[in-house]
Amino acid sequence: MYDFDQIIDRRSTDCVKWDNLEELYGDKDLLPLWVADMDFPVAPAISNALKKRTEHGVYGYNLISDRYYQAVINWMKRRHSWDIEREWIVFTPGVVPALSYAVRAFTKPGDKVIIQSPVYHPFYSTIETNGRHVVTNPLIYKDGKYYMDYEDLEEKIDSRTRLLFLCSPHNPVGRVWTEEELRRLGKICLENDIIVVSDEIHFDIVFKGHKHTVFAKVSEEIRENSIICTAPSKTFNIAGLQVSNIIIPNRRLRERFNIELEKDHISRPNIFGQEALIAAYEESEEWLDELIHYIEENKNYFIGYVENNLPQLEVIDSEGTFLLWVDCSGLNMDPEELNHFFVNRCKLALNRGDMFGQEGRLFYRFNIGCPRSILKEALDRIKEGIESL
Ligand SMILES: Cc1ncc(COP(=O)(O)O)c(C=O)c1O
């Protein structure tokens, strides 16, 4: 019913993905499959709600409405079978700011925060810019799939380790962690007094045969030890509206987190973000189900194309997210040569794997949240690029 094949020209909309290429890659004519937003228009209910609010003409201070809270509560219940209470919901203008607030709320300068690399790059910077230390607990890459390394985790923990950032589902490797995997992780963290900040921003886009488990649902003890970061931004392609909800069931942890927000006087979403969230969570599920299907088909198309035409690449079969992690070691290039190859020969703007950690140095991340014709164009460019070597 919805047309995800439609091409919308995003150029000249001050958009990071398409309008920033000259500055970032030195060439404005690249085809961008990098930063994690999608090239699809939003669900009609969202654009209608925004139009209606725009037409009102007065955009003064707003309240967080009951409809907003109820929409979040209903979403968690319907899509994630998670019963939450209204007072657990803390608004922040993004998940990355929430990571930073969590670092400040739950650690002291010089403390250590664990991350599971390769991982979304602001995990590093939110820790480091706050004067804390990153401890990496690299994922294990085995037979084309990624796993958590619990032994390494236990070895790395010491008395200064206070916090762990979990990425669930995992960006960039595309794992949707199983309940069992999460339980094991949660147990180690509980035993060592480590609070878990679970970034679940990608939790709505999960493929057939996989199920997202909200970390706090694993057990009551784990729930009391976790901060769950959620947002409609990736799911409904509204990252520019800057709305996210951090769900903190434990009162003590919530109070500590809120102190950090209060210092910056952050308390509510802007009116457009609020309207968009309500329309997304209350009226756009059908759109989302079709979107997930389309992205899964994009993934299958990508994998099929690579299998048939690009034996030098190996795609890590993702279980969710609109991001694909691709092993490029078969091209026999070092990271700088790979960068040169993708930018100068293929004319593509992608995310280089080493930005997620040195484990990713021979990988690239592709954003497949785009019309299939764009994906085909990108893959054709790689094929031609290899042929021209
Ligand atoms: C795992 C993860 N967390 C957070 C974000 C960004 O969050 P926000 O834009 O809400 O700060 C992204 C965006 O790519 C992401 O992949």
C-beta of 199 in contact with ligand 1 (< 6 A): yes
Q: Is residue 9 part of a domain?
A: no
- The yes-or-no verdict on residue 84 having pLDDT over 90 is yes
CATH of residue 221: 3.40.640.10
Residue nearest to atom 10 of ligand 1 (CA): 94
CATH of residue 357: 3.90.1150.10
Looking at the structure, do residues 95 and 30 belong to the same domain, yes or no?
no
Looking at the structure, do residues 176 and 271 belong to the same domain, yes or no?
yes
pLDDT at position 24 is 97
The per-residue pLDDT for range 42-80, each reduced to its tens digit, is: 999 999 999 999 999 999 999 999 999 999 999 999 999
Give the domain extent around 25: 16-43+285-387
pLDDT at position 8 is 97
C-beta of 200 in contact with ligand 1 (< 6 A): no
The per-residue pLDDT for range 126-164, each reduced to its tens digit, is: 999 999 999 999 999 999 999 999 999 999 999 999 999
Q: How many Å lie between the centroid of ligand 1 and the Cα of residue 215?
A: 17
What is the average pLDDT across 326-343?
A: 98
Residue 31 forms beta bridges with which residues? 348
Q: Cα(371)–Cα(369) distance, rounded to whole angstroms?
A: 7
pLDDT band at residue 321 using 50, 70 and 90 as cut-offs? very high
Using H for helix, E for strand and C for coil, what is the string for 56-91? HCCCCCCCCCHHHHHHHHHHHHHHHCCCCCHHHEEE
C-beta of 231 in contact with ligand 1 (< 6 A): yes
Q: How many Å lie between the centroid of ligand 1 and the Cα of residue 95?
A: 6
C-beta of 166 in contact with ligand 1 (< 6 A): no
pLDDT at position 101 is 98
Closest atom of ligand 1 relative to the 239 alpha carbon: 9
Q: Is residue 8 part of a domain?
A: no
Looking at the structure, do residues 248 and 294 belong to the same domain, yes or no?
no
Burial 61-98 (b: 16+ CB within 10 A, else e): eeeeeeebbebbbebbeebbebebeeebbbbbbbbbbb
Q: Is residue 51 part of a domain?
A: no
Q: How many Å lie between the centroid of ligand 1 and the Cα of residue 272?
A: 19
Chosen domain end from 256, 283, 310? 283
Whether residue 139 contacts residue 148, with contact meaning beta carbons closer than 8 Å, is answered with yes
Chosen domain end from 283, 298, 322? 283
* Mean per-residue pLDDT over the chain, rounded: 98
- The yes-or-no verdict on residue 267 having pLDDT over 90 is no
Q: Which two tokens stand for residue 119?
A: 């991982």
Q: State the total domains in the chain.
A: 2
List Cα–Cα distances, 249 to 102, 220, 243, 253, in angstroms.
14, 10, 19, 8
Chosen domain end from 218, 249, 283? 283
Closest atom of ligand 1 relative to the 242 alpha carbon: 10
Closest atom of ligand 1 relative to the 244 alpha carbon: 10
Looking at the chain, the whole-number percentage of residues with pLDDT higher than 70 is 100
Q: How many Å lie between the centroid of ligand 1 and the Cα of residue 222?
A: 23
Ligand 1, pocket-test mutation among 234, 237, 365, most atoms within 8 A of CB: 234
Q: How many Å lie between the centroid of ligand 1 and the Cα of residue 201?
A: 6
C-alpha angle 146-151-154 in degrees, rounded to nearest 5: 120
C-beta of 36 in contact with ligand 1 (< 6 A): yes
- The yes-or-no verdict on residue 107 having pLDDT over 90 is yes
